Structure 1
Amino acid sequence: MKKYLLDSNILIQAHRMHYPFDVFPSFWSKLINLSENNFILSIDKVKKEICEISNPDNLSNWCMNDIHDTFFVDTSSCVDAYSQIAIWANANTQYTQNAKNEFLQTDLADPWLIAYALKNNCKIVTYENSDPYIKRKIKIPEPCTHFGVEFTTPIQMMRELGDTF
């Protein structure tokens, strides 16, 4: 079974909108359990996006203290896959230069998430939807489709895992 690779928006939106820590502690416990059983993971760049904020919050504290360090994997071994994605993005005439620059920012998790999934045969879990005609932003589904990387939603991931909480 493929591992599921969580985009930062899964954790951020869960924390802010859908599953706040004080109301749905079982959601956060479920993520820890799925991580410990090697079903889900994320990348170092996602942790950086969440934890390098000026005012630590419940989510950054959870990432630093509650989920095991092995959840956030190192992406340094994915430079070759990242290079392929960068070449694709820069050569793609559909997107504005600002969209390309934003997508390829050094610490932006999106291209590294795709690179890790490509190199390690993971399925990305994101709230981003495909928008193949958009010019101002490179969304995760478009490079995933180009490179044959699977992606899904968190609810579909839970269904595929046969898990509930």
Structure 2
Amino acid sequence: MSKYLLDSNVFIQAHRMHYPFDVVPSFWDKLITLSDDDVIFSIDKVKKELYDHQNPDILGKWCHNDIKSNFFVDSSNCIDKYGLIANWAVANNHHYKQTAIDEFLSPDLADPWLIAYAMKNNNVIVTYEVSRPEMKAKIKIPEPCNHFGVRFITPIEMFRELKEKF
């Protein structure tokens, strides 16, 4: 069975909009259970997008205190796949604006590393991003995923596949 690799927006949108900690704690408990069962995980660069060490919010504190310490794995071993993704982005300069390519390849953005990790390890990316191939101002996760054959689904699709309820 493939493991599910969670994008930053799964946590951010859940925290801010869909499943706030104080209203739907069972969502966060379910993530902990799925993590403990080694069904879901994420990468170090996602944690960096979620956790401000200087001034952590409730989501940052959850990442630091509640989810298991090895939930956010090191993505540096995916440099070969990252290179393929970077080459793809640069080669698509006829479609995407240079600012979109620069943003996508910025060192702090988790998206290309998430895709690289999924490519290398045959994981399913879980994200709220949807395919928008006509978009020129931003490279969204689905476009390189479609190009490289990396599967991506929404959080609700993941829960349905796992037959999980919270």
Shorter chain as denominator, the TM-score bin is over 0.9
Show the counterpart of 1:27.
27
> TM-score of the superposition, structure 1-length normalised?
0.98
CA shift digits 1:35-71 (9 cap, x unpaired): 1101100000000011126531110000011001111
Match of 2:70, SS?
Answer: helix
2:84 is the counterpart of 1:84: yes
Show the counterpart of 1:155.
156
Runs ≥4 residues deviating over 6 A: none
CA distance in 1 between counterparts of 2:108 and 2:116 reads 13
Q: Which runs of 5+ in 1 are unaligned?
A: none
Show the counterpart of 1:119.
120
Q: Which runs of 5+ in 2 are unaligned?
A: none
Show the counterpart of 1:131.
132
CA distance in 1 between counterparts of 2:71 and 2:134 reads 34
Match of 2:87, SS?
Answer: helix
> TM-score of the superposition, structure 2-length normalised?
0.97
Aligned length: 165
Show the counterpart of 2:42.
42
CA distance in 1 between counterparts of 2:38 and 2:121 reads 13
CA shift digits 1:81-109 (9 cap, x unpaired): 00000000001121010000000000100
2:105 is the counterpart of 1:104: yes
Amino acid in the other structure paired with 1:35: S
CA distance in 1 between counterparts of 2:23 and 2:99 reads 39
CA distance in 2 between counterparts of 1:136 and 1:159 reads 32
The Cα RMSD (Å) is 0.9
Amino acid in the other structure paired with 1:99: A
CA distance in 1 between counterparts of 2:54 and 2:95 reads 35
Match of 2:41, SS?
Answer: strand
Amino acid in the other structure paired with 1:139: K
CA distance in 2 between counterparts of 1:96 and 1:5 reads 28
